[in-house]
Amino acid sequence: MTPSLGTVVVTGAAGRIGTIVRQRLRDEVRHLVLVDREPLEVQSPAERVIRLDLTDLDAVVAAFDGADVVVHLAGVPDEAPLAELLDANVLGTFHVLEAARRQQVDRVVLASSNRVTGFHPVGRIVHPDDPVRPDGLYGVSKVAIEALARLYADKFALSVVCLRIGSFEDRPHEARYLATWLSPRDCVGFIRAAITAPSVSFVTAYAVSANTRRFWDLDAAIQLGYTPVDNAEDHAAHVAGAEDDIDSDAPQGGAYASADYSLPHIHPRFQ
């Protein structure tokens, strides 16, 4: 395949999604710059590896030199103490956006999360422009990065796509994932579309597979240029609880929305 995506920087390249993106986009880019705190090894002539911490703004600016696109996947991926989430997710994303502004990057793709709306009820289809209702401290940190992205789009004309990532797994293995599953194939499809969509100022879109039971509207993602193809229902026969009755008023975040999920990260008494 002829490289068509220019120079793409991927932060969090050692992570689960970063690893898949690296494998699937490697032959479509002119240069692939892989950024992570963890050590990585170059696997193709198109790749360059940079080990850094996103809290170091000068290092991030240097890493983005010559970049056409930044795909920002780095950060704490689940509930944690707020100070840790602010440092890794919010400050790290601020540095990514600021470095992209300084280096005149054409497009930034940010990994947000479905958990920014985890307290909406299961019985409701949620649109990206509906009010945020985070289901925990992690969701709050993702609300903050979306706000930073909107600021940089409005104030500095930086082109940003925020993808609210679903439950990224090879296949759904619990009942909630029948609604929230994001397959590796669809994940890469959404990211590729977010990279290449023309005339984007700021877009927030849910990135979730074409699940029959999904909670989220896909129009914004489809308008970026990708329609998901996988459906968690194809795996329902192998998922425990798939036929259980569902309370339509229960939060979409499931266990993530419970007090017990966040309390250990708020007060040591609950650890």
Domain ranges of the chain: 7-270
Q: Would you place residue 1 in the very low, low, confident or very high pLDDT band (cuts 50, 70, 90)?
A: very low
How confident is residue 241, by pLDDT bands cut at 50, 70 and 90? very high
Six-digit token string for 231: 């459906």
Letter string b/e over residues 134-153, b meaning 16 or more CB atoms within 10 A of that residue's CB = bbbbbbbbbbbbbebbeebb
Catalytic residue among 138, 152, 177, 206: 138
Q: What is the mean pLDDT of the chain?
A: 96
Q: What is the pLDDT of residues 149-164, one digit of tens each?
A: 999 999 999 999 999 9
Q: Is the pLDDT of residue 145 over 50?
A: yes
What predicted TM-score, i.e. pTM, was given to this entire model? Answer: 0.96
Task: Give SS3 for 246.
Answer: coil
In angstroms, the CA 135 to CA 78 distance is 11
Q: How confident is the model at residue 139 (pLDDT cuts 50, 70, 90)?
A: very high
CATH superfamily of 7-270: NAD(P)-binding Rossmann-like Domain (3.40.50.720)
Rounded CA gap, 180 and 168, in Å?
A: 9
Within the chain, strands assigned E span 7-11, 31-36, 47-51, 69-72, 107-113, 160-165, 167-168, 181-182, 202-207
Residue 3, pLDDT above cutoff 90: no
Confidence of residue 4 (pLDDT cuts 50, 70, 90): confident
Q: Please state, in angstroms and as integers, the Cα–Cα distance from residue 191 to each residue in 45, 175, 222, 235, following that order.
A: 22, 26, 12, 24
Mean pLDDT score, 238-255: 96
Q: Is 138 a catalytic residue?
A: yes
Mean of the pLDDT values across residues 203-214? 98
Q: What is the pLDDT of residue 2?
A: 45
User: How far is Cα 78 from Cα 115, in angstroms, rounded to an integer?
Assistant: 10
**Residue 121 DSSP one-character state:** B
Question: pLDDT tens-digit profile of 57-107?
Answer: 999 999 999 999 999 999 999 999 999 999 999 999 999 999 999 999 999
Return the closest-CA partner of residue 72 out of 46, 87, 93, 44.
Answer: 93
